[in-house]
Structure 1
Amino acid sequence: MDMNRKMIFLFIVIALIAAIFSGCGSDKKTAQNKGYVTITDDANRTVSLTKKPERIVALSTSFLEPLHDVDAKVIGCPSSKMGVPEYYKDLAKVGAVYDINIEKVVGLKPDLVIAMKGMNDKFVSTLESNNIPVIVLDMKSYEQVKRCLDIFAKITGEQDKAAAVIKKMDDQIVAVKAKLPQKAIKMAILHSTAQDVTVQLDNSIAGSVAKMLGFTNVAADVNTPDGNTESAPYSLEMLVKKNPDVIFITSMGDMKTIKAAMEKNVENNDAWKSLSAVKNKHVYYLPQHLFLLNPGIHYPQAAQIMAQKIYPDLFTANK
């Protein structure tokens, strides 16, 4: 009988020890399942990465410089005449910016794809079905650029580098604004292509830069029928009524063609010639590489160029 009790006691001890070690193993497994980092993207999706990505494909060239600044391992991007930095020229190309070849993306076997909201959303389900993590981000405004830098830094573990880039940009913008006189500037922003002209609102790239500098967009209160927050149909009547001090023009396409279209469709009108900005020769074309494409980490340069157009004596010329 005593022997049986000893055997039962020994069995209980062994079972307890096994349970303890099993629990430790379970805890370790749970910790591993927590993954490397979890990101909430701009499509309100929660994406958990199990490890630090070493093969990133960016579906927009706007992401490339911020990714480079935090040491991301990028292996693929779209082709673009203006948007690919020299140090990424040899990356595998996955189609044009507006015509991504999703088969090429999958073929690169990335461990992370970064997609542009409003442009690449349609690829999310395909990528997920191929077990490829994808983060959808919006990067138009300056605040969104800084948010993207923060997210990329979490992915690479280089938060200090992102903080340094953000501080440098903030300081440069503060320096530009400090040079501006305390004078109210009413301005309008037109976007011209070879086919038509639209008015740019505060959420456009040029609109956000102007707002950053404290300029007043005369079209800020325009209601668009389709809810577009970046542009509205062109209205010469509105411009005459608001009579801006300055007119900025952003463009897409060959500049000679754009200027010819502006002259034909807009500038030959007597009402246009009556505008204060036109009479005082305060109509300025903005460079496409900063105001058609997202300027990204070059937002300070975009701010300086816009300010310099109005106050050339306050800034050294940008080459």
Structure 2
Amino acid sequence: MHRRWLLSALALLMSIFLAACTTATTQQPSTKITNPTETTNTNSQQLSKGSAKRVVALSSLSADIISRLDQTKIVGITGSKLFKDDSKFKDIPRVSEGQSPPNLEKVVALKPDLVIGAEGFSNIPIQKLQQLGIPTLLTKVNNWESLEELTKKLAVLINADPQPLLNRYKTFLPEKPTQGFSTLALVSRQPILAPNKNSWAGDLLAKFQAKNIAADLQGKSPVGGYVTLSAEKVLEANPEVIILVNPPQGNSEAGLLDSLKKEAFWQQLQATKNNRVYVFDYYGLVNPGSIDAIEKACQQLKQALFVKQGT
């Protein structure tokens, strides 16, 4: 069961963080928002201020941002579990479900003047839509600054004011920096996989002044922004706080924790001894997912990192 979870987790991580086998060795983390209509296809219209009035979003984060900037501009979204109980998206057509590719016929039928995809995941459908002359935008959010820049970019395209949303983002972060605890975030057991500073999770930890043990490590992990660690390395670092991440599919909070409890080194760690092990959802910490997911992750980080040792 753990192997099955790992394979699904790695597959989703790789698709979102530009780590597909064919490109993992050449792509580098960046805050740049790429507009493929400018770089790979000359047939699509150039995007300009206020040009987008019918937007289809192939990523949950872009769909959420657009809907918060101007609900009337979003006409199609990806079928994400994050929106299952969200009334804002109740009547908006789904063009995909889960990790399935989007149905391009459904996308075209919505007559969009902009389709937004996630770089590394939506590249193929975006290229096909370009060939049909539909304006497209590929985005990548792997740090806080790129989240803000994406919000500003989308606001320009749909002629909306980004400031209220940007102001809300600021409320998620700690007001006063504090001396952080040594921290290790883990997303899998075999291999032991942790985010470095070139990932959304790593950057978020830095925003909360956590001393991320894996921040400056580099390795041969197949997942961009993540490194593999040995049990010896974890024991040597001996973090004060450990954050475990739920698998992207599944509802069990105990899975990874129960698995790690079987490791000989686990009970020797000070985080374990001091009961400073916290379980987070995949959305918000590993994959930004949505604004609410980000806010929840930030609230959890405040609780995990700003509490005194032993309390």
After superposition, residues 154-303 of structure 1 pair within 5 angstroms as 154-158=156-160, 161-170=161-170, 172-173=171-172, 176-178=174-176, 182-192=178-188, 197-225=192-220, 228-252=223-247, 253-256=249-252, 259-264=254-259, 266-298=260-292, 299-303=294-298
Residue in structure 1 matching 2:152, options 138, 150, 153: 150
Confirm or deny: 8 A CA contact 2:284 2:295 kept in the other structure.
no
Q: Is the 8 A contact 1:113 1:133 kept in 2?
A: yes
| Structure 1 equivalent of residue 47 of structure 2 | 49
TM-score, normalising length: structure 2: 0.76
Where does 1:14-53 land on structure 2 (aligned, <5 Å)?
41-42=33-34, 45-46=37-38, 48-49=46-47, 52-53=51-52
Return closer, same or farther for 1:62/1:230 CA change in 2, 3 Å cut-off. same
Is 1:134 matched up with 2:128?
no
Compared CA separation, residues 226 and 191, structure 1 to 2 (3 A): closer
Q: For structure 1, which runs of at least 5 residues remain unmatched after alignment?
A: 1-39, 314-319
- Residues 246, 296 of structure 1: alpha-carbon distance in 2 compared, 3 angstrom cutoff: same
Q: Does the 8 Å CA contact 1:150/1:162 hold for their aligned counterparts?
A: yes
CA distance in 1, matches of 2:127, 2:282: 33
CA distance in 2, matches of 1:225, 1:143: 26
Asked if structure 2 preserves the Cα contact closer than 8 Å seen for 1:145 and 1:296, the reply is: no
Deviation of 1:136 (Å): 0.9
- Deviation (angstroms), 1:238: 1.0
Q: Is the 8 A contact 1:248 1:283 kept in 2?
A: yes
Structure 1 residues 123, 200: CA separation in 2 closer, same or farther (over 3 Å shift)? same
Q: 1:48 to 1:63 in 2, by over 3 A?
A: same
CA distance in 2, matches of 1:260, 1:156: 42
Partners of 1:222 and 1:83 in 2: CA distance: 35
Contact 1:55–1:75 (CA<8 Å) still a contact in 2? yes
Structure 1 pair 202–41 and aligned structure 2 pair: CA distance change class (3 A): closer
Task: Give the match for residue 18 of structure 1.
Answer: none
Mapped contact 1:142–1:296 kept (Cα < 8 A): no
The answer as to 2:91 corresponding to 1:90 is yes
Q: How many aligned positions are there?
A: 265
Q: CA shift at 1:120, angstroms?
A: 0.4
User: Is residue 58 of structure 1 aligned with residue 47 of structure 2?
Assistant: no
Please give the secondary structure, in 1, of the residue aligned with 2:81: coil
RMSD of aligned alpha carbons: 2.6
Give the deviation of 1:197 after TM superposition: 4.6
Q: Which has the higher contact order (CA 8 A, sep 6+)?
A: 2
TM-score (ref. length: structure 1): 0.74
- Rounded to whole Å, the distance in 2 between the matches of 1:60 and 1:168 is 21
Larger radius of gyration: 1
**What is the identity, as a one-letter code, of the residue corresponding to 2:185?**
I
| Alpha-carbon distance, 1:227 to partner | 7.0
267-276 or 288-297: which moved more?
288-297
Task: Tell me the CA shift for residue 280 of structure 1.
Answer: 0.9
Q: How big is the shift at 1:275? A: 0.8
Q: How far is the alpha carbon of 1:310 from its aligned partner? A: 3.5
Contact 1:192 1:262 survives alignment (8 Å): no
Identity in percent: 23
Counterpart contact for 1:201–1:231, Cα < 8 Å: yes
Question: How far does residue 147 in structure 1 lie from its aligned partner after superposition?
Answer: 0.9
User: SS of the counterpart of 2:205?
Assistant: helix
CA distance 1:261–1:139, shift in 2 (3 Å): closer
Q: Report matched runs for 1:62-81 at 5 Å.
A: 62-71=61-70, 73-81=73-81
**CA distance, structure 2, for counterparts of residue 277 and residue 77 of structure 1:** 40
Could you tell me how far 1:133 is from its partner in structure 2? 0.8
